[in-house]
Structures are given as C-alpha cells and as structure tokens.
Amino acid sequence: MRQKLDYLKETPSQTAGPYVHIGLAPGAAGFEIYDQELGRDIAGPNAKGERIRVEGMVTDGTGSPVKDVLLEAWQANADGVYAHPEHSGGVEEGFRGWGRVITDFETGEWGFDTVKPGAVAGRSGQMMAPHISLWIVARGINVGLNTRLYFEDEPEANAADPVLNVIEWERRRATLIAKRALRGGKPVYRFDIRLQGEDETVFFDI
Amino acid sequence: MTKPPQPGEFYQRDRRWHPAALSQNYKTSVTRSPQFPLISLENTASEITGPVFGHDDIAPADNDLLTNFAQPGQSPIGERIIVHGRVLDENARPVPNTLVEVWQANASGRYRHKKDTYLGALDLNFGGCGRTLTDENGRYHFRTVKPGAYPWRNWVNDWRPAHIHVSVFGSGFAQRLITQLYFEGDPLIARCPIVNTIPDPEAVEMLVARLDMNATIPLDTIAYRFDIVLRGRRSTLFENRLEGN
C-alpha cells in the first residue's frame, strides 16, 4: 500500500469583517471590557533608539479611504533584534515589537508611535534595511495582506536590501518607502497603502 | 557531528486552498483586492519570529463571554455554548501558549459596535469578545452564547450564517491568521458569499465546528469542537542559509 503524507491543511482564512474592532480593539468599538487592550505600545518606555511616529491611510481601488482597517506591526528593536526566543540578542524590558492600530472611522487615518528599528540579518548573512512588517485586515480582504515599510532616509541600505531587490519592477519598490518629515521636532513617517490600482502597494506572500 | 534538526522556514501557504483576494460575489472585495500578484519571499527572521504573549497580558476570565460583560448575577440571553479545540500546525504538533481572540454578535445577530445599526436587539449583558492562551497541549476553550445569523448589504437578501470570528497568532508572524467559525448543520453556510470565497468544499468543512456532546455539561452548556491549523515548519535537516551568522 502506498504510504500517505499525513500533513494537515492550514485553516482557511476569512475576512475579519466590519466589526473586527470588537474583538481586537474593543475600546475603539465603543466599549471597555478588558483591563488592558493589547498592542497599544510597541516599544515600551525603555527602548533605545530614535522615537518616531508612523502614520498613513489605506485607500481602495476607487481611491477612497478604507475606514475599517485593522493593522498590525512587527519590528525589531534599534539593534535589529526581535523580541522572540529564536532571535538572539535580547531586547529592552517592555519592548514587544508588536503593535495594533485601527483607522479612524471618520478620516481613515492610522498612526502609531514606536522606535526606528535597526537592520536585521537576512538570509545568507546579507543585512536587510530597517523595516517594519505590516499585516492588514478589513472587510473585503479575504486573506490578511502582508507588506513592509522601509524608511526614506536609508537610501543606501534600501538599495542593498535583499527583499526590495526581489521586486523586479523597480518602480514598485517606491510603494514600500515611507516619507520622512518633522513635526514639532519629532520624525513622522508617512506610509500610505493603496490596495488596488495606480501605485498599488506591493504585498508579499511570506 | 550530527546536529539535531532545527525548526526552519514555514511551509508555503497554499493560496489555492485559501480564498482568492477577488471574489465578485463578495462585493467589498472587488475594490479591496490587489490586482498585481503577491511577491513571494523566502522566510527571514522577520517572518519566522512573532509577538509573544503571556498570562500577564490577559485576565483568566477573558475567555468567558457569559460573564465578562454581564452585570453581576446576570447572564446574556441565548444558547449557552462551550467552544473548545486545539491549535495545531500542519505537522499536527500542538501550538502552545498562543493567543486566540474571538468576537461575535449576540443571539439576535447584533454586534456591540457603534457601526452596527441592525434592528436585532443589543443584550445588556453581552459584550461579544474574548481571548485566551492555548495551554501546553495547544488546547483552548471559551464559553459564550451561540450567535444569531444577521443580514448584510451585499446582494439584497444576503444573511451571514451564525459565526464567531477567530484570530490566532502562532509563533511566527507568517502564521498570523484570522478566520471564522461556523456551526454544524447551518443551512446558511452553503449560501454565504463570504464562505464561498473559499474554492474547495473540504476547506469550508475545516471551518465548521462540530457538535461535541462529550464536552457538553449536562443541564448547563452545550459544546462545539473547533480545531485550528496553522502553517507548519520545515526541519532544517541540512545546512540552511537563514541565520546569517
């Protein structure tokens, strides 16, 4: 008898729907239920490095803001170390590296405060440019979309980044570069995400 | 010297098993689906690592939706159910200490959300969200009321089957998953445009929680079983190029 491969199949994805906030950000849905909502503080008070704000908007194929998005961020600390047991180096106490934000119901704007991540070693020891991994879910999105945010003021590291260089359409790489500005002395990076159409953001199958 | 196999990269996600981004019958997907194909990456540390949660992050009672919003001594109205199961990976290994979050409508099909204007009544004693960590064997459980079906603006007479939204982390960001749990025997499942974004009927079956009389508490709470499978990881039997040191 032929032997069988006994792997299980991954549970199929479904959209997070319009009321994702109830489960993952109930305060935003209009009621407080938990002692602490998760994902409000990415870096914690002890994190080294440059304090930055990252903000943007998600637009759909008609150019309209998507006002019911939930977005999660995953990043290394300023030394390029992830807060995870498989990544050696260690992080500052209170640094989780993960955050969760929603878009404003009226404007569609989202934003979070964090520290700028350091470069992380990629495959074969090649360094990846500093980046923040983002995961986007919303009504109408059947499988969460993965993308990466890179920083405009890291042109040399970005030019050598092994992931950006996998994108053979060089013009599309620009969709992953957040624009830097100063507001009240604080660096603010603007990262608009276009789900569809002109200048569509690059999404990854990770 | 032979080194024991180390956990390596995640198995490729089977994108023909998951829903496609664009599904004409789920209208919102039409303007929210990328037109360009996804760019496939080999895993790096950014994908293999992911957030870690502990018992400090949540309260033990967060998994009891019958009490976590109710007034003292009160209960929500509806069918009292236990939802339990295991979180496994594709190698059938348990995924321990991982965060499972759920949210749902009440027994009327109404969500406690300022954007939900459905006529179905709110329940003063029901919030509709819960969260828990899996134990060392990947087990989790919630207690709640069975949610009601509700109408939604898609085609004019579309109704969602009763469902509970489920969010799971796993150990790496590449395993991040949100899905929906449906209930065995619900005739709305086969008619639902969101369910039908999934092309393979066997994949739909994975989202249908089974009535589990063995886990039912007699004269108290009926039970459903729902196992969740996250992406598995390859063992690095040979040298891998991932670590970079």
pLDDT digits (tens, 9 = 90+) for B206-216: 999 999 999 99
Q: Is residue B26 annotated as a catalytic residue, yes or no?
A: no
Which among B139, B165, B176, B234 is annotated as catalytic? Answer: B165
List residues bridging with B88 in a β-sheet. B94, B229
Q: What integer pLDDT is reported at residue B5 of this predicted model? A: 64
Closest approach of A139 to chain B, Cα-based (Å): 7
Please tell me the distance from the alpha carbon of residue A29 to that of residue B156, in angstroms, as a whole number: 26
Q: What is the ipTM of this complex?
A: 0.96
* C-alpha Rg value of chain B to the nearest Å: 20
Q: Is residue B150 annotated as a catalytic residue, yes or no?
A: yes
A80 — phi, psi (to 5°)? Answer: 80, 30
Please tell me the distance from the alpha carbon of residue A70 to that of residue B112, in angstroms, as a whole number: 17
Phi and psi based region of residue B213 (left: phi greater than 0; alpha: psi -120 to 50; beta: remaining): alpha
Mean pLDDT of B93-104: 98
Q: List all residues 6 or more positions away from A169 whose beta carbon is below 8 Å from its beta carbon.
A: none
Is the CB of B13 inside 8 Å of chain A's CB atoms?
yes
Please tell me the distance from the alpha carbon of residue A168 to that of residue A15, in angstroms, as a whole number: 30
A residues 17-56 lying closer than 8 A (beta carbon) to B: 17-24, 26, 29-31, 33-36, 38
Residue B4 burial (CB count, 10 A): 6
Which among B26, B111, B182, B224 is annotated as catalytic? Answer: B111
B residues 28-47 lying closer than 8 A (beta carbon) to A: 28-36, 38-47
The predicted-structure confidence for B156-204, as pLDDT tens digits, reads as follows 999 999 999 999 999 999 999 999 999 999 999 999 999 999 999 999 9
Residue B86 burial (CB count, 10 A): 18
Mean pLDDT of B235-245: 60
Please tell me the distance from the alpha carbon of residue B28 to that of residue A75, in angstroms, as a whole number: 30
Q: How confident is the model at residue B7 (pLDDT cuts 50, 70, 90)?
A: confident
Q: List all residues 6 or more positions away from A106 whose beta carbon is below 8 Å from its beta carbon.
A: A67
The predicted-structure confidence for A10-51, as pLDDT tens digits, reads as follows 999 999 999 999 999 998 888 889 988 899 899 999 999 999
Tell me which residue in A24, A62, A126 faces B31 most closely, judged by beta carbons.
A62
The 3-state DSSP class for residue B88 equals strand
Q: Is residue B182 annotated as a catalytic residue, yes or no?
A: no
Closest approach of B33 to chain A, Cα-based (Å): 6
Per-residue pLDDT of chain A (206 residues), as tens digits, is 899 999 999 999 999 999 999 999 998 888 889 988 899 899 999 999 999 999 999 999 999 999 999 999 999 999 999 999 999 889 999 999 999 999 999 999 999 999 999 999 998 889 999 999 999 999 999 999 999 999 999 999 999 999 999 999 999 999 999 999 999 999 999 999 999 999 999 999 99
Closest-CA residue in chain B for A96?
A: B51
Residue contact A38–B57, C-beta within 8 A: yes
End-to-end CA distance of chain B: 19
Please tell me the distance from the alpha carbon of residue B106 to that of residue B128, in angstroms, as a whole number: 7
A105 — phi, psi (to 5°)? Answer: -60, -30
Closest-CA residue in chain B for A100?
A: B51
Please tell me the distance from the alpha carbon of residue A40 to that of residue A101, in angstroms, as a whole number: 7
Closest approach of B217 to chain A, Cα-based (Å): 26
The predicted-structure confidence for B45-87, as pLDDT tens digits, reads as follows 999 999 999 999 999 999 999 999 999 999 999 999 999 999 9
A71 — phi, psi (to 5°)? Answer: -130, 135
Pairing of strands B177-183, A186-190: unpaired
- Which two tokens mark B146? 């069975």
Could you tell me the pTM of the whole model?
0.96
Q: Is residue B111 annotated as a catalytic residue, yes or no?
A: yes
Closest approach of A196 to chain B, Cα-based (Å): 5
CA distances from B178 to A5, A194, B11, B164 (A): 26, 21, 18, 11
List residues bridging with B103 in a β-sheet. B129, B165
